[in-house]
Amino acid sequence: MKEVILIKDGELSLKGLNRRNFEDKMVSTIRRRLKDLGEIKITRAQSTIYVEPQSEEFDFEEALDRVGYIFGIAAFSRACVCQKNMDDILLKAKTYLISTLSQVKSFKVEAKRADKAFELKSPEICREVGGAILSACPDLKVDVHNPDIVVNVEVRDYAAYIRAGQIKGAGGLPVGTSGRAQVLISGGIDSPVAAWTMAKRGLTLNAIHFASPPYTSARAEQKVKTLLSKVAKYSGTIKLAIVPFTEIQEQIARCCEEDYFTLIMRRMMMRIACRVSEKDECLGLITGESLGQVASQTLPAIAATDEVCSLPVFRPLIGMDKEEIITISRHIDAFETSILPYEDCCTVFTPKHPHTRPKPGQCSQAEKGLDIESLIERAIAGIEYSFIE
């Protein structure tokens, strides 16, 4: 019995004349994610993408799992291909769905007749298919309001398809359709969620992490790589830059007022992130800041860090509370890794009473004792790159 994966592209249907470009990117991603499972044929029509395996060895379950991580997909399902006649549709409705229907108590049938020349209209298809299923599974009941499962029949241009329910996709836009941006990744709960959220809006991700050995350990760096691997299941490969930040933090501690340590550290991070981003053709920065969550995330503090940025800064979590962020963190399987107790550089040299409401110009004055350009140049020269998949 021939099977395919049916993929619904959701939001892409709103893209008008640009829709083809978005679909091309998504098809390319699907092909790349599934290529090692065997040869496939991908076609598209009427807001649906069809993934047709070309060999019997194709691993459908693994393919469905991978498709669930692809941004741009609203829903997907495994479906049986039928000839465009009711005899074949009714036969396969009984045989293809029998194991699935044996696990439920109620069902209903929904039909979509995209080919208006087909012999029956949608209500008639529903009635015929529902009757065939009841004859094969007499213990089942029809429930049109709250069924355990919905059987879908789609009659399209070249074939008909039968499926039992569909799986919700990752949603959003295909990665790469909105450009490239760099996420400042710390190892906490927030920044992986921010990265995932912006990848969902079509951004290709680079990442930058600031390490301060011996104050931070190799385990902290591995934690960051593990978190990025969780995000990369959705976004694809992420280029990671690990920046040596120890000298900068020690210079800040030595030359600047303690109350300004956190703000000046953040400004240095943003300067370096902008330089690295411009080199890697990233068009913006991504941070995990949530308004008012910590001392460096008040409006005046955010404005003070933005003063030194040459690129736009995206803060997708800015209006979320911690519980909302944790919910997404759990959804992407990052939470348990994020709470591992390995120090990151943001917790090094933390002032007892951090300045939360700096006025314009105060941070510039407070960091005058630093040789900013030399510190940045040495930090960038020491960057180690890797690729996270």
pLDDT score at 42:
94
Query: In the prediction, which pLDDT does 342 show?
Result: 76
Region for 47 from its dihedrals, namely left if φ exceeds 0, alpha if ψ lies in -120 to 50, beta otherwise:
left
The pLDDT assigned to 348 comes to: 65
Q: Which fold has domain 3-168?
A: VC0802-like (3.30.2130)
Report the distance separating Cα 225 and Cα 210, nearest Å. Answer: 13
CATH, domain range 180-388: 3.40.50.620
Token couple for 97: 């769905």
Gyration radius (Cα) of the chain, Å: 26
Strand partners, 161: 81, 154
Cis-peptide into 358, omega within 30 deg: no
Q: Which residue type occupies 22?
A: F
Q: What is the pLDDT of residue 179?
A: 96
Per the CB < 8 A criterion, the answer to whether 161 and 117 are in contact is no
Distance, CA of 182 to CA of 287 (rounded, Å): 9
Q: Which two tokens stand for residue 8?
A: 């619904």
In 3D space, the residue among 201, 126, 158, 202 whose CA is nearest the CA of residue 48 turns out to be 158
- Domain range annotation of the chain: 3-168, 180-388
Per-residue pLDDT of the chain (389 residues; tens, 9 = 90+): 899 999 998 777 777 778 888 889 999 999 999 999 989 999 988 778 999 999 888 999 999 999 999 999 999 999 999 999 999 999 999 899 888 898 899 999 999 998 889 989 999 999 999 999 999 998 899 999 999 999 999 998 889 999 998 899 999 999 999 999 999 999 899 999 999 999 999 999 999 999 999 888 889 999 999 999 999 999 999 999 999 999 999 999 898 888 889 899 999 999 999 999 999 999 999 999 999 887 778 898 999 999 999 999 999 999 999 999 999 999 999 999 999 887 776 666 676 777 778 888 888 999 999 999 999 999 999 999 999 99
